[in-house]
Structure formats: C-alpha cells, structure tokens
Structure 1
Amino acid sequence: MLAEIGALNWVGERPSLRSGQALDGARAGATANRKTGGPKGPSPTIQPYHRRDALWQVERAARPAGPLFESGFPNSELRTPNSEPLAPMTPEERLVADFGGTGLTVGPHPMAYRRAEMKALGVRAAAELVRIPAGKRVRIAGGVIARQRPGTAKGFVFLSLEDETGISNAIITPDVFERNRLTVVQEQFLMVEGKLEKQDNVISVRAERLCALAITKAETSSHDFY
C-alpha cells in the first residue's frame, strides 16, 4: 500500500595519532563524559563518525596497517568523516541491521519514519486514542507485537499494534478474521479501521477493515498465542 523506505556509533581519533591511539582517546573522552554527566559540546579530540565508519575505524585499529600505511595518514583530509570510503547507512539500512542483529532498534521506531504519511491517511497514533470519545470511527496502525486467539474467546482475535507513541489494541471478530486470515497472521505491520471502544480503562478498536502496510524490510517479530 505504501512505498517501502530505505546505534549511532562513533569512534574518536586525534589528528596526529594512529588508529589504536585514537581508540584510547575515545575511551578517555567517554570516561570524562561519564564523570561530568555527559558531553557539553564538541570535543577538540573526539569526532563523531557514522556506524559504518566506526566499524572501519575499529577494523583499521585492530589490523596491522602494513608497510604502505604504517606511518599513519599524514594528510589530515583523509581523516574527515566525509572522505571515508563507506557511505552512511540510510534509516532503512539501520532498521534492517538493528532488527537483524538484536531484534529491536535503538533508533526511532519504524512507524516514526512514516508518521506524516499516516496522518495523511487519517491514522491516529496510539497516544491519541485516550482523547477520542468512544464510538468514534478511527484508524490505527503499527507493528504487530502480539496476536491472541484464546480458546474461550469464541473465535475472536486480539492484536496489539505498536507505534512510536505506544501500543493500541484491536479486536477482530470471527467473520472479519476469516476474510483477512493471511493478512492477520502473516503481516508485520497493519492498519486497522473500526469503532473505538472504551471499557474498564481498556481502549481498543473493533476492526471492520484492515490492510497490510509496507513500512520496512526489517524482520520484526511478534508473540503469538493461538
């Protein structure tokens, strides 16, 4: 339905030092930051690098430089982040790497990158639902983090959808589930439309329509109980 989109890491390096010494400088700077409660501004000896460049710097520090580069890089232009051989990762690439490596991301939630598009579609963020009166027709969307179909629920399915503001809940009746079975059980991100219900401080949307959203290629996961 929507077009697919493409840990901030850093390593510091002193201009006159080799890579191994540069990493020592970064550690010293990090220690100083912890003692002072965090950096107050740009450090004169530590420069920020994007993730790929950080890995490049670590690899360069870990391996022998070889005869060609054993004296270091005298040309300071070679040391600027903009001149490194690896391009910065796109938001999509960071999401794929984060979820692939740890199952979560330390950066923005995937839905945060699509919030403007969601607003254009009339989708409400999870945090907004508390201010909307019961009975109003709404749209919610997010990554599926839980699917439940209790044996005592007479075929009803309960979904938990997560966005960057919180978690929203959807109730799917048996007939709606049967019409959308594959979408409900297989898709990572969903948009659900229906009437808002509020009972005993529990907010949910009784689904009437739902569709899959192509938010990211990252492999997110959910806890499913059938």
Structure 2
Amino acid sequence: MDSLDDLPLFQHGAQSAVADPLPYKPSAIEDMLEDFSSMNVSLSKHPITLLDEAGKLGRFTRMTELINKEHQSLVTVVGMVTGKQSPGTAAGVTFFTLEDDTGNINVVVWQATARAQKQAYLTSKILKVKGILEREGEVTHVIAGRLIDMTEQLSELKVQSREFH
C-alpha cells in the first residue's frame, strides 16, 4: 500500500473534490460575541477595536492617550462598562470603570448627571462619555458631562458589569 487512496474507504473520495468541512466562517464580530457569551473576554479583537474599525464610535480618546491630554481639557472616551461603585460615603457620586482596547478609564458621574441621563446611566453596556479630564498626581479620571449609550452598536454583546452599591 503506497497511500491512503489505496484503501477501499478512500478510493471513491479520491475522484471527488473534498468539500470544506466548515463552509461558514464567522465574522470577527461574531467570533468576539461568541467569546464574550461563553467567557466574558475576547480571544481576538476587543469590542471597542471592532466598533472603531467599523466606524461606529466617532472620535474618541483611548485610555493610553489620556496622558497626553491636559488637566481640565474636554475629552470623549468610550468603553465597555465593567464596574460601577456608589459608596455610601461618596455623597451621590458613582464611579464607573470603562474598558477600552488599551485599558481601564475611571469616570466620575455626579448624581445630577445620572438623574438627567438616567437611561444611559442605568443600562449602558458600551458607554461614550464626554467630560472633563482631571489629573491628580498619578490618578486620571473623567468627570462625566454627557453619557451616550452606544450599546445598540453591538446589541448582542453580553457584558456584565460588577456593581457595588
């Protein structure tokens, strides 16, 4: 016997072209959504990267670029909401953690901002924040002025933020 084609099982298959066993190849977004639904992380591209490449986010500043911005400058950041904290001692302030494709961004949301933009505040999984950059030593955060829910851009994404109240 010289090859597999000499075996009876493979003789008929040698004449016909072998069909691709996986004819459907999922898109990058479908791959990422499946990763998040099963593991809550992506094994390929980050959701913010995919949305940015698709032109769905507009102009924004990534976490790694915030260091180049001046204290008290206006910035726009976008990220997945990965955490919310409203400590009892914070006098009506909620601290959001947004995750973009370069790291975590700390966002401060005052109670009046949260009330005025309740829907985005309560339900966003992907959030765009327009606000003022504040820097105190090594600590950088964005004081939220406008909250924009970007979740519909990737509505199938199942992300759970950790919320501490």
Is TM (by shorter chain) over 0.5? yes
TM-score by length of structure 1 reads 0.63
Q: Structure 1 segments of 4 or more deviating over 4 A? A: none
Q: Post-superposition shift, 1:16?
A: 4.3
Letter in 2 for 1:98: D
* TM-score, scaled relative to structure 2: 0.85
Question: How far is 1:76 from its partner?
Answer: 7.0
Q: Which residue of structure 2 aligns with residue 188 of structure 1?
A: 125
Q: Is the 8 A contact 2:32 2:43 kept in 1?
A: no
Equivalent in the alignment of 2:108: 171
Specify every segment of 5 or more residues in structure 2 that has no aligned partner in the other structure, as ranges.
none
> Counting strand residues as a fraction of each chain, which structure ranks higher?
2
* Structure 1 pair 84–167 and aligned structure 2 pair: CA distance change class (3 A): same
Q: Does the C-alpha gap of structure 1 residues 74 and 190 become closer, same or farther in structure 2, counting only changes over 3 Å?
A: same
Q: Which residue is equivalent to 1:219? A: 158
Partner of 1:152 in structure 2?
Answer: 89
Partner secondary structure for residue 120 of structure 2: helix
8 Å CA contact 1:111, 1:215 repeated in 2: no
Distance change in 2, residues 1:196/1:74 (3 Å): same
5+ long unaligned stretches in structure 1: 1-14, 18-69
Give the conservation status (yes or no) of the 8 Å contact 1:171–1:206: yes
- C-alpha distance in structure 2 between counterparts of 1:16 and 1:166, whole Å: 51
Counterpart pick for 1:161 among 79, 85, 98: 98
**Alpha-carbon distance in 2 for matches of 1:169, 1:215:** 22
Residue pair 1:196, 1:206 contacting (<8 A) in 2 also: yes
d(CA) in 2 for partners of 1:152 and 1:132? 30
For residues 221 and 184 of structure 1, the distance between their equivalents in structure 2, rounded to whole angstroms, comes to: 14
Alpha-carbon contact 2:35-2:43 (below 8 Å) kept: yes
Give the number of equivalent residue pairs: 156
